[in-house]
Amino acid sequence: MKTRVYTYQDLEKQQVQEDIRQTFTEGKNVVFPTETVYGIGGYALSKEGISGIYSVKGRPSDNPLILHVAKQEDIKPFIKTVQPYARKLMEHFWPGPLTLVMEKSDIVPMYITGGLHTVGIRVPGSEIARKVIEIAGLPICAPSANISGRPSSTLVEHVIEDFMDKVDIIIDGGKSEIGLESTVVDVTGEFPEILRPGMVTSEMIKEVVGAVQFSQAIDENDTPKSPGMKYKHYAPKGMLTIIEGSPTQVIDYMNQKIIESKETGVKVGVLIPIEYVGLVEPDEIFMMGSLHNSKEIASNLFEGLRSMDSKNVDVIYTFAFHQGEMKDAIMNRLLKAANYQVISLK
């Protein structure tokens, strides 16, 4: 297969619009940018379009997909009921980086929900994403555009790395603004329950509806509420470890490890906040942004992990990022990427 790569400006062209519409309708896949990360899209009611996504990503079939629609009214056919507090969340945060898990209607096929009776839906904040959905004129399922287990894509270069000549169309929208995936919230119960932290924080949700809780991840039957929770995620090829402690402790520890690795020939990379640049000298360094700007750190995280891969780093050390409103989302992704390997020097 030869992938057609379009820029977002190309979306104005009639023949490109026709190509996108036809590609989705025929049950083929289109990668497009959103404000969170790039998504690999398929027509939600096309078995072929959805199985294409699962197979090209190598995604386990019980991990459900998020349905993307262009505007709030478009969710109607796909859900049974909406709780009043969920409606408030939609009105407040849509279009935007918030996915709501609701009871699905009968027309939503089980092959997109991984066998669940609920469906996650969002109206993306990105104008380009909404334009793509409007051009398609169809509900679109779009998981993050990465091979399963790899860091999500925040640049078209990442998408090209994973999917060139494996999907029909890739749309280049530049760097993703947020860089971490949407907040996923289960709104089937009495209170909203956060299944995956993102840019819409628990504080923001609480402010709108008065109550919120974090999912316990695993319910009494030992099944995760969000199937995505149980899989290995975002993992770079090199072994990632999070180092916690005072800045001096962390810097000393990393420098010690760098000296040791020089003897053994292990290639070391470090994800570093700009405040500490120059204090650690590994083989490869990636600047995450300022400790005082959690949005900047969030937007660079996946790029940092992927850049370590492209430099064939064996061992990666990162600082922990516990400041700012994106801290929950950042640490959630970082812990998963590190397979929960944390060294605490405190």
Interaction site with Mg ion (CB under 5 A)? 144
Asked if 39 interacts with ligand TXA (CB under 6 A), we say yes
> How many other CB atoms are found less than 10 A from the CB of residue 245?
16
Alpha helical stretches, state H, 265-326: 294-310
Asked if 116 interacts with ligand TXA (CB under 6 A), we say yes
Residue 282 interacts with which of Mg ion, ligand TXA, none, CB < 5 to 8 Å by class: none
Q: How far is the CB of 166 from ligand TXA (least distance, A)?
A: 17
Asked if 181 interacts with ligand TXA (CB under 6 A), we say yes
Tokens of 261: 């690795």
C-alpha to C-alpha distance for 117 and 251, rounded to whole angstroms = 48
Give long-range contacts, CB 8 A cutoff, 24+ apart: 76-82: 77/105, 77/107, 78/104, 78/105, 78/107, 78/108, 78/119, 78/121, 78/139, 79/103, 79/104, 79/105, 79/119, 79/121, 80/104, 80/105, 82/187
C-alpha to C-alpha distance for 214 and 192, rounded to whole angstroms = 9
User: From the list 11, 20, 65, 305, which residue makes contact with ligand TXA (rule: CB under 6 A)?
Assistant: 65
Asked if 182 interacts with ligand TXA (CB under 6 A), we say yes
Q: How far is the CB of 125 from ligand TXA (least distance, A)?
A: 10
Residue 113 interacts with which of Mg ion, ligand TXA, none, CB < 5 to 8 Å by class: ligand TXA
Asked if 63 interacts with ligand TXA (CB under 6 A), we say yes
Asked if 143 interacts with ligand TXA (CB under 6 A), we say yes
Tokens of 218: 């695993």
Q: How far is the CB of 143 from Mg ion (least distance, A)?
A: 5
Residue 325's SS3 state is coil
Query: Closest by alpha carbon to 169, among 44, 63, 10, 303?
Result: 10
Q: How far is the CB of 335 from ligand TXA (least distance, A)?
A: 15
Alpha helical stretches, state H, 75-155: 84-93, 110-113, 127-136
What is the footprint of ligand TXA within residues 236-265 (CB under 6 A)?
none
Q: How far is the CB of 340 from ligand TXA (least distance, A)?
A: 17
Which CB sits closer to Mg ion, 126 or 144?
144
In the complex, which residues of this chain contact ligand TXA (CB under 6 A)?
A: 34, 36-37, 39, 63-66, 97, 99, 101, 113, 116, 118-120, 142-144, 181-182, 184, 195-196, 226-228
